[in-house]
């Protein structure tokens, strides 16, 4: 029996490593957002500072999370075997849940996830125990007050952080404006002193104070002299920063943002590390008690977990190293950071989220409220505020920087870090359950709103994004509880066999999300290919033509293959393969849509004299997109027909389709070769072929109408066949338009 539990402990630690990886990917947004958004330093410098902070924070970690042992449930009422069921359920759920959120680039709270996983697993085991014995009520097993406090913390952190971020950014921007360079010459040291003092306080209160190696006397000294520490830090930092500015010309804002990045990284690793390894360490501690007791696993109550436990430093060091490696290598971490930056960036552009009814209602309400405020606010005050928030010069500087422009300036970056640090420090000192992820994200959203980053053209999409992230936070709690409840029940009744089946299932799901992430990355890379590199302005139009030619030929080749394979799958009544073809067609549509969405950025880079080049490019992309739409309208009805198990086409119809399929593929191949070579001498011959194919389609329509007249074809099949012929004709016509538009594009660039 003991050997089985040794295996389970190994499984717990293996899951802990996996959890560390997905956890860092999720929480990287907490400490990378401001530095990366303001581009205060190179990517490598930011990562080095964050990595050092993580490693130090991991070493300072208190190591054993109280909530893992006794915060959510009362361990003295559970046997060792039952505790292991709960811990295994928690770790499997946590890995899966965080990986799913990371795959879709959505930041969530690791604290909330682990708390509700513990709650779900513990309630599942408790209900089973009550059903079997009925000795104790559920309230004796579960600490419901802790779960309710966490829920209250979610609501509190969302509202307070957003409001505080918006308010502080308003006051700061009113004082500094967007053109803050002159004021910083005189006030940079004071501003930096305030900011770094807040960050220092954050490190002391939230980080080092709780370190496992800290002496109790030092902790007591910090607690009793907090005000003095703050005053000394403010004076000391202000003087030091002014000296650094005068003697070494150091940019104080950059130093402030980098210091804040380091502080948040330290606090994240020092406090959130236990979200990932607290449960396995609690399981390991329980196993040591079990091994030393000599009592059966089903008879040993875990009262020992209610006491304080220290963690070996070498375990914390190993965990810190894993976190550092993950931070450097994880693409999902950068995706999560990108979501936050996209929602808070100062400029407009491609928006990741669409609009929703709620976001539209909020924007409509805000516009109406603004109209009323404009009437009530005195004109002089209104003009003064508008002057302070005038970002015209700043926007011109950003536009001149092109792709190198930061998402927002360093004033906002420092506000994000300072406000987040203060809120988290205050919550920690008052023992309020505030999520680091929620605070940092909502502060960034509040400050971006104040800065006018959510303009009329982007507000509805940004609000939808924020609402989606917040909705995901509540979904985290519900999903964590539900999945952990189910998994704990399965493990309880399925024993060791269920554990291995669940691990295999979890590995498969992780693989699936990995494949999905790779596909999404491939789409992003494909669409980035159309974006122009920073080349000489005179060569910009030719560079655009070259990239456009490549993207058009690749897209048309894929469409040709999918047109043929879709019809082949339909004829073979292979529903599974046809579904995959529909997904591939959707992928092409998304890729071409990205090309279209990038038109604004592309045209801005071209010279005024290249306006005709822009027009030709837009026409090519429009016709290419219409071609892809036609392919969608061919494939989806075919799949729906097959999915509904309707009658297939008749042999005569399949024979006609087979001939048509060959004609269309030959046509597309001719068009691709002509575009690739850039020689359009035989354009008229291809146009005649296109016209002949359209005429053949009309003849096929007439044949089908005669079949309907003679009742030789069912209603569903007839309508599907006519739709197929119509959309194939549209595909041919759009193909001809792509060819002519690409020819005009080429002639313009060669003239």
Please state the length of the chain. 751
Arithmetic mean of pLDDT over the chain: 79
- How far, CA to CA in Å, does 445 sit from each of 180, 421, 613? 22, 15, 38
Boundary-marking domain end, from 494, 523, 552: 523
Same domain for 519 and 533?
Answer: no
pLDDT of residue 563: 92
Same domain for 169 and 318?
Answer: yes
Rounded Cα–Cα distance for residues 549 and 486 (Å):
53
Rounded Cα–Cα distance for residues 700 and 656 (Å):
8
pTM for the full predicted model: 0.72
Same domain for 253 and 326?
Answer: yes
* Closest C-alpha among 721, 709, 579 to residue 650: 721
Greater confidence (702 vs 137) lies with 702
> Among 8-17, 97-106, 164-173, 458-467, which range has the highest average pLDDT?
164-173
Same domain for 423 and 497?
Answer: yes
Angle between helices 540-571 and 611-643 (to 10 degrees): 10
- How far, CA to CA in Å, does 290 sit from each of 69, 70, 77, 83? 15, 17, 15, 11
pLDDT of residue 291: 83
Rounded Cα–Cα distance for residues 340 and 331 (Å):
15
Banded model confidence at residue 2, pLDDT cuts 50, 70, 90: low
Residues 602-652: pLDDT tens digits?
A: 776 665 556 667 788 888 889 999 999 999 999 999 999 888 888 888 888
pLDDT at 535 over 50: no
* Closest C-alpha among 657, 654, 542, 527 to residue 594: 527
Banded model confidence at residue 215, pLDDT cuts 50, 70, 90: low
Same domain for 443 and 569?
Answer: no
* Closest C-alpha among 693, 566, 690, 698 to residue 635: 566
Same domain for 451 and 558?
Answer: no
pLDDT of residue 549: 87
pLDDT at 157 over 60: yes
> Taking the C-alpha atoms of 537, 540, 541 and 543 in order, what is their torsion angle to the nearest 10 degrees?
160
Rounded Cα–Cα distance for residues 19 and 15 (Å):
6
Determine the longest span between alpha carbons in the chain, in angstroms: 98
pLDDT of residue 450: 87
Rounded Cα–Cα distance for residues 410 and 408 (Å):
7
pLDDT at 69 over 60: no
Contact 12, 283 (CB under 8 A): yes
* pLDDT (average), residues 421-432: 70
* pLDDT (average), residues 170-175: 88
* Closest C-alpha among 119, 132, 139 to residue 77: 139
Same domain for 465 and 423?
Answer: yes
pLDDT of residue 61: 61
Burial string for 171-188 (b: 16+ CB within 10 Å, else e) reads: ebbeebbbebeeebeeeb
Boundary-marking domain end, from 474, 498, 523: 523
Same domain for 542 and 442?
Answer: no
* Closest C-alpha among 115, 106, 99, 104 to residue 507: 99
* pLDDT (average), residues 193-212: 69
Residues 479-516: pLDDT tens digits?
A: 889 999 999 999 888 888 888 888 888 788 777 766 66
3-state SS of 528-583? HCCCCCCCCHHHHHHHHHHHHHHHHHHHHHHHHHHHHHHHHHHHCCCHHHHHHHHH
Rounded Cα–Cα distance for residues 154 and 469 (Å):
13
List helix spans (H) across 572-650: 575-597, 599-605, 611-643
* pLDDT (average), residues 2-24: 77
Banded model confidence at residue 307, pLDDT cuts 50, 70, 90: low
pLDDT of residue 729: 92
Same domain for 476 and 555?
Answer: no
Banded model confidence at residue 149, pLDDT cuts 50, 70, 90: confident
Rounded Cα–Cα distance for residues 15 and 95 (Å):
7
Q: How many Cα atoms occupy the beta-carbon half-sphere of 515 within 13 Å?
A: 6
Rounded Cα–Cα distance for residues 462 and 363 (Å):
10
Q: Residue 650: which region, alpha, beta or left (left: phi > 0; alpha: psi -120 to 50)?
A: beta
Which residues lie below 8 Å from residue 110, measured CB to CB, with a gap of 6+? 23, 26, 27, 94, 98, 272, 275, 276, 437
- What CATH number is given to the structural domain containing 630? 1.20.58.220
State phi, psi for 79 to the nearest 5 degrees: -80, 165
> Among 124-133, 399-408, 524-533, which range has the highest average pLDDT?
124-133
Beta bridge partners of 79: 301
Residues 279-302: pLDDT tens digits?
A: 787 788 888 888 888 788 788 887
- How far, CA to CA in Å, does 683 sit from each of 586, 622, 678, 686? 30, 20, 11, 5
State phi, psi for 301 to the nearest 5 degrees: -75, 145
Beta bridge partners of 73: 142
Same domain for 450 and 578?
Answer: no
Boundary-marking domain end, from 523, 538, 563: 523
Q: Which helix (H) or strand (E) holds 12?
A: helix 2-38
- How many separate domains does the chain show? 2
pLDDT of residue 529: 47
Same domain for 502 and 546?
Answer: no
Residues 316-327: pLDDT tens digits?
A: 778 778 878 877
pLDDT of residue 727: 92
pLDDT of residue 633: 92
Provide the domain limits for residue 692. 529-750
CB atoms within 10 A of CB 609: 10
Same domain for 449 and 564?
Answer: no
């Amino acid at each position: 029996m003991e050997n089985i539990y040794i295996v389970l402990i190994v499984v717990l630690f293996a899951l802990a490593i996996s959890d560390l990886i997905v956890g860092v990917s999720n929480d990287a947004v907490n400490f990378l957002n401001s530095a990366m958004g303001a581009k205060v330093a190179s990517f490598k410098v930011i990562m080095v500072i964050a990595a050092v902070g993580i490693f130090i924070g991991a070493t300072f970690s208190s190591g054993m999370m109280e909530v893992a042992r006794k915060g959510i449930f009362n361990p003295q009422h559970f046997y060792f075997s039952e505790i292991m069921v709960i811990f295994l359920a928690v770790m499997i759920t946590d890995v899966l849940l965080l990986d799913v959120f990371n795959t879709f680039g959505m930041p969530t709270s690791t604290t909330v996830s682990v708390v509700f996983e513990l709650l779900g697993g513990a309630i599942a085991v408790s209900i089973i125990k009550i059903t079997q014995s009925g000795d104790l009520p559920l309230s004796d097993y579960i600490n419901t007050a802790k779960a309710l406090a966490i829920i209250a913390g979610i609501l509190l952190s969302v509202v307070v952080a957003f409001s505080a971020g918006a308010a502080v950014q308003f006051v700061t921007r009113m004082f500094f404006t967007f053109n803050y360079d002159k004021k910083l010459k005189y006030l940079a040291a004071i501003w930096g002193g305030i900011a770094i003092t807040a960050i220092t306080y954050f490190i002391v209160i939230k980080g080092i104070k709780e370190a496992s190696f800290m002496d109790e006397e030092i902790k007591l000294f910090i607690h009793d002299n907090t005000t003095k520490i703050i005053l000394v830090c403010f004076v000391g930092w202000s003087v030091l920063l002014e000296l650094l500015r005068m003697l070494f010309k150091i940019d104080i804002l950059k130093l402030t943002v980098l210091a804040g990045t380091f502080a948040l990284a330290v606090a994240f690793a020092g406090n959130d590390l236990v979200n990932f390894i607290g449960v396995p360490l609690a399981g390991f501690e329980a196993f040591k008690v079990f091994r030393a007791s000599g009592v059966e696993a089903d008879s040993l109550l875990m009262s020992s977990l209610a006491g304080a436990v220290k963690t070996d430093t070498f375990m914390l060091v190993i965990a810190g190293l894993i976190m550092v490696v993950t931070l450097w290598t994880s693409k999902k971490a950068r995706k999560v950071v990108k979501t936050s930056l996209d929602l808070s960036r100062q400029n407009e552009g491609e928006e990741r989220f669409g609009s929703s009814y709620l976001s539209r209602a909020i924007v409509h309400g805000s516009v109406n409220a603004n109209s009323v405020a404009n009437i009530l606010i005195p004109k002089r005050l209104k003009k003064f505020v508008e002057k302070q928030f005038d970002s015209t010069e700043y926007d011109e500087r950003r536009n001149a920087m092109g792709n190198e422009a930061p998402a927002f300036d360093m004033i906002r970056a420092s506000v994000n870090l300072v406000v987040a640090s203060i809120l988290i420090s205050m919550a920690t000192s008052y023992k309020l359950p505030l999520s680091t992820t929620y605070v940092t994200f909502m502060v960034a959203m509040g400050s971006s709103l104040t800065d006018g980053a959510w303009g009329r053209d982007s507000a509805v999409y940004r609000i939808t994004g924020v609402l989606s992230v917040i909705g995901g936070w509540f979904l985290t709690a519900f999903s964590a509880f539900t999945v952990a409840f189910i998994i704990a029940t399965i493990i309880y009744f399925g024993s060791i066999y269920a554990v291995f089946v669940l691990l295999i299932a979890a590995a498969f799901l992780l693989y699936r999300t990995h494949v999905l992430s790779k596909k999404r990355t491939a789409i992003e890379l494909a669409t980035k290919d159309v974006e122009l590199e920073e080349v000489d302005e005179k060569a910009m139009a030719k560079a655009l033509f070259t990239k456009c030619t490549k993207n058009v030929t690749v897209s048309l080749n894929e469409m040709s293959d999918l047109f043929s394979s879709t019809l082949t799958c339909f004829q073979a009544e292979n529903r599974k393969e046809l579904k995959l073809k529909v997904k591939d067609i959707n992928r092409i549509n998304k890729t071409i849509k990205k090309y279209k969405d990038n038109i604004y950025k592309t045209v801005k880079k071209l010279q005024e004299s290249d306006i005709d080049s822009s027009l030709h490019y837009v026409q090519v992309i429009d016709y290419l997109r219409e071609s892809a739409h036609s392919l969608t309208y061919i494939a989806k009805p075919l799949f729906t027909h097959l999915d509904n198990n309707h009658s297939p086409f008749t042999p005569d119809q399949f024979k006609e389709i087979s001939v048509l399929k060959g004609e269309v593929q030959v046509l597309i191949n001719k068009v691709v070769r002509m575009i690739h070579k850039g020689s359009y001498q035989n354009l008229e011959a291809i146009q005649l072929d296109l016209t002949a194919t359209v005429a053949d389609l009309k003849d096929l329509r007439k044949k089908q109408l005669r079949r309907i007249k003679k009742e030789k074809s069912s209603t569903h099949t007839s309508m599907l066949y006519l739709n197929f012929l119509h959309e194939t004709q549209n595909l041919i016509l759009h193909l001809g338009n792509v060819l002519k538009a690409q020819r005009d594009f080429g002639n313009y660039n060669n003239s």
